[in-house]
Amino acid sequence: MAKQTVDIGQAPNDGTGDPLRIAMDKINDNMNEIYRSIGGLGSTTLLNMVATNAPSGTAPTLSVQNVWNPISFKIDTEAELWALSPGAYHGCIAHVHETGAMYYAHQKWNKMLSDNANNDIGDYDDSLSNLAYTGMLTDANNSGFDLLDLDGIVDGTSNQVLSTDGSGTFTFVDQTGGGGAAGANTFGTISVAGSLDVVADSLTDNLTLIAGSGMTISANSVSDSITFTSTAVGGAGGAANTFSTIAVAGQTSVVADSTADTLNLAAGTGIAITTNAATDEVTIAASGGAGFTPSRISQTVSSASIADDAEADIAFANLGVSYCLYSVQTDYASRVRIYKDAASRTADQSRPQGTDPTEGSGVIAEFITSSANTFVTTPAIFGFVDNRPTETEIPVRVTNLSGSTYPITITLTGLKLESA
C-alpha cells in the first residue's frame, strides 16, 4: 500500500482539509502497514530493514529496547513461504511455524538443519558420508546410519597397510605377497628346480637375470618384455642345427656350415620327392623306370545306384598304367568290361552281351556274373592304359544284371607294373 497523507488544509480551521474520520482512517491504515511489516496481523510480506551509521569495524545491528519480539520472521505454513520469491528476498531468513524450522533465501528457500529429531531433512548433500560414517547425517536416528568404528585398532609396523575383511574388522597387514599394495613384492621367492631359492630381502630388492652359455637375454622397456634367445651351434634347442652332420655310407658327409644352412634333397632317376609344408612331411617315392619295385594292389570302386540293365562308367587309379590282373570281384550279378582307354569304352558301349569284341577294339577283358562272385584269372591278364599321359586310370564299364536297383561294387586285384 502507498503511504496516505492527511490533508490539513491551507490554514487552521479553514475547512479545506480532510474530515476528521477520513484523516484518522488514513492514520490507521499507515499504522497497520507498519505493524504488518514487522510481523503483526499474520502478514507474509517481509520488510527490508537495514541499520545505518554502524561504528567502524562493527556489523550493523537492528535493536528495539525493552520490546518483546520487536522484529518477527514468523510465517505460518511452508506453502506460504514457497509462494514468496527467493530472488526478491535474497539473503532473508524466515521461521515457518508449521515445520518449526528456519529457512534462508538463496536461489531457493533452503531449510536449515534442526535438532528436532521429528523433522529430519531428507534432501541433504552430505560430503562427509564416505569418510566418517555410512548413510546420511540426517539418518542419524535411523537404522541406515552407522559410524565407522575405528576404536581398538592398534597401529602396525613400518610399510604395513590397513586392511578390512568386509565385515567391519580392520587390521594392519604386511604389503608383501601380492594383493596390489603399492611397493609390494610381485613374488617374494623365486624357486628353480634343483637350485637354491632366490628370496627378496626387501620391498626394493632387485632380481637380476644372467645369460648362461649359448644364451642371450634382451629387455624391452616399452613393451615390458624380456626375450631369451639361444646362440648355441650344434646343440639342442633355439637356433641350433637339428643334425650338424648328415653321413651316408661310402659318401662324403654333408656338414652344416651355419645355424641357417639348408639341406637340399635331390631326386635321382626313378625317384620323386614331394613336400607338404602344412604337415612338415617329405615323401620319397619311386616314379617308374629304374629302381621301381612291382607290388600287389587291390582297389574297390562303386558305381552310383543304377537300375536293372543300366550301365555306369567307373575307373581304377591305384593299379598303375601297366598291370597284371589277378582277379575281379562283384557284389551283384553284373557285366564288367575293362578297356585300354576311355575312347575304346565309348566305342564299345552298344556291343550286345555275348558278342565277342573285334580285334584291336581296346577291350582288355570282360566278365559276366549271375550273382556276387570272384573271378580268378589264370593265367594273369596283362593290361595297360594306352592314352598316356592324358589318361592315368583304368577305364571300366559295369552293367547291373541283378534285377533291382543297386550301386555295383567292383574290386580289381593285380600286380602294379608301372606308375602313372
Q: pLDDT per residue over 16-42, tens digit each?
A: 889 989 989 999 988 887 776 665 555
Q: Give a yes or no: residue 63 inside a domain.
A: no
DSSP state of 288: S
Q: Give a yes or no: residue 206 inside a domain.
A: no
pLDDT at 215 over 50: yes
Q: What percent of the chain has pLDDT over 90?
A: 30
Average pLDDT value for residue range 379-393: 93
Helix or strand run (H / E) with residue 291: none
Q: Give a yes or no: residue 303 inside a domain.
A: yes
Main-chain phi, psi angles of 139, to 5 degrees: -100, 20
Q: How far apart are CA 50 and CA 40, in angstroms?
A: 19
Q: Looking at the 3D structure of the chain, how many domains does it have?
A: 1
* E strands present in 307-359: 311-316, 322-330, 334-339
**Host domain of residue 349:** 295-418
What single letter denotes the amino acid at residue 46? L
What single letter denotes the amino acid at residue 259? T
> Tens digit of pLDDT for each residue in 311-354?
999 999 999 999 999 999 999 999 999 999 999 999 999 999 99
pLDDT at residue 35, as a whole number: 76
- Which residues 6+ apart lie within 8 Å of 320 measured at CB? 297, 416, 417, 418, 419, 420
Q: Give a yes or no: residue 351 inside a domain.
A: yes
Least confident segment among 39-48, 110-119, 353-362 = 39-48
pLDDT higher for 170 or 417? Answer: 417
Omega before 389 cis (within 30°)?
yes
Q: Give a yes or no: residue 353 inside a domain.
A: yes
Quote the mean pLDDT of the chain. Answer: 80
Burial of 164 (0-12, 13-18, 19+ CB in 10 A): exposed
Q: Give a yes or no: residue 320 inside a domain.
A: yes
pLDDT higher for 344 or 214? Answer: 344
C-alpha cell at 378: 589264370
Half-sphere CA count of 66, side-chain side, radius 13 A = 0
Strands 93-96 and 245-246: unpaired
Q: Give a yes or no: residue 181 inside a domain.
A: no
Buried b (16+ CB within 10 A) or exposed e, 25-56: eeeeeeeebeebbebeeebeebeeeeeeeeee
pLDDT at residue 267, as a whole number: 83
Strands 281-286 and 133-134: unpaired
CATH number of the domain bearing residue 364: 2.60.120
pLDDT at 67 over 60: no
What single letter denotes the amino acid at residue 73? F
pLDDT at 179 over 90: no
Alpha-carbon distances of 80 from 36, 69, 118, 189, 345, rounded to whole Å = 16, 21, 21, 74, 114
Q: Give a yes or no: residue 83 inside a domain.
A: no
